[in-house]
Structure 1
């Protein structure tokens, strides 16, 4: 199949057609130097002529590919193939041994030898939405404290990370600080008598929303396939204390769960 025209040659190529065709070319190794390293794509005007699109439409194509993490662009230097290395996300790392004053995300980055930080987007007090209210067993209209942050890896937004706790539990504590908490908010919950000892994770197919597109740097209208993890955290009294919602774009994250069985000498 040609990679220079849409499947039906009688139809004019659309922006989405060309996104698909260029994505395939990049994935099979086009636009690379002889040693395999990423190279520059032709100028938008040249690519537009190749695919039958205006320069303006071709710029939209490149913007969509940039939002997917497939190309990188810089004003004045054009578009280049981008070898994005997905972050391997281990939800179970929350319960692994780590330094007492290091949060979960920092530990994850350190283990992966990646550079990153957490950008704090918003800390609010608001009525609990139904998903959160039901997981935390809250009363109708009860308020939650919310920490919305976007986790950055190697200079790009990897995923959103939003935590919800009943406001009555954390009001006046460091959990509400208008900044990242160096020792981690889970440590703060433990200090408040609600150490998290168990989590139930639900994995849902998802397409990024308009708000998530902005936070993740995907651009307006550039929704991408993702997974949403709804993680409900329980303390030692089996009380649901915190709900964390992760949105992980599929092209920027690999989610890995570890399973194991007991190797004790007892019967199976």
Structure 2
């Protein structure tokens, strides 16, 4: 453990090592972690240090304690998202893509709308949408739920002149999602660009996602374009960094 001269406290180093073993598949979902004594022997630390490491992992939801039995890796593995799956319009009558994606993993996916309003968008959003100074956008803010627990915070922005008079301004779920509606309005999705970063959560993100401790968030800044490269949507997606993985499948050549 000292090979890389990690300056963090020992309990954080142990938690990082166990977390890596879980994420790499060395410890399977549902498997039992080594006992406190085994971890003490492995890392050369006292029992309180091991317990502090396990408390970190429990707070993150990565492991769960079972009284009298030990500590186990959570049953549900990381939620893997393939971003491109959310872009095509839905088949008429088909469930929303989030619902379909969750159901494929034997989970329940729902969404809760927090706000729909016409606003002055953040500077990066305005630039990505090509808005003139002072122009407004319609924002739709939602929390995506998995098994009724908050999983992702989503802010989607649309040029106000495009959104006005459509269901984009309605505080109700859009059948088939925004790609379906935009295509029906004459703005089919032709391409999208994702910019992904990791950072500490804002107050809004921390509360809305019910994040534990110092868990970072995965921030995806997505720009959606229609014909002739026209930007029609910018979506900022915030996911708990310890629960998600993004999977990209791209053709080569």
TM-score (ref. length: structure 1): 0.69
Indicate whether 1:82 and 2:74 are aligned.
Answer: yes
Q: How much does 1:137 deviate? A: 0.5
The 3-state SS of whatever aligns with 1:237 is helix
Mind listing any 5+ residue stretches in structure 1 that lack a counterpart? 2-6, 9-13, 30-35, 43-48, 53-57, 263-268
Q: How much does 1:242 deviate? A: 0.3
Candidates 125, 128, 133, aligned match of 2:121? 128
Q: How much does 1:131 deviate? A: 0.8
TM-score (ref. length: structure 2): 0.73
The residue number in structure 2 matching 1:68 is: 60
Structure 2 distance, partners of 1:206, 1:180, is 29
The residue number in structure 2 matching 1:160 is: 153
Structure 1 distance, partners of 2:132, 2:221, is 20
Kindly report which structure 2 residues correspond to 1:82-231, keeping only aligned pairs within 5 A, or say none.
82-96=74-88, 98-101=90-93, 102-219=95-212, 222-224=214-216, 226-231=217-222
Question: Is the 2:142–2:155 Cα contact (8 Å) retained in structure 1?
Answer: yes
The residue number in structure 1 matching 2:48 is: 51
Q: How much does 1:252 deviate? A: 1.0
Structure 1 distance, partners of 2:234, 2:18, is 41
Kindly report which structure 2 residues correspond to 1:249-260, keeping only aligned pairs within 5 A, or say none.
249-260=240-251
Query: What are the Cα deviations for residues 102-147 of structure 1, in whole angstroms up to 9, with x where unaligned?
Result: 4332232244443221222222221011110010000112111111
Structure 1 stretches of 4+ with a deviation exceeding 6 A read 26-29
Q: How much does 1:158 deviate? A: 2.4
The residue number in structure 2 matching 1:241 is: 232
Question: Is the 1:232–1:240 Cα contact (8 Å) retained in structure 2?
Answer: yes
- For the aligned residues, what is the CA RMSD? 3.7
Which structure has the greater CA radius of gyration? 1
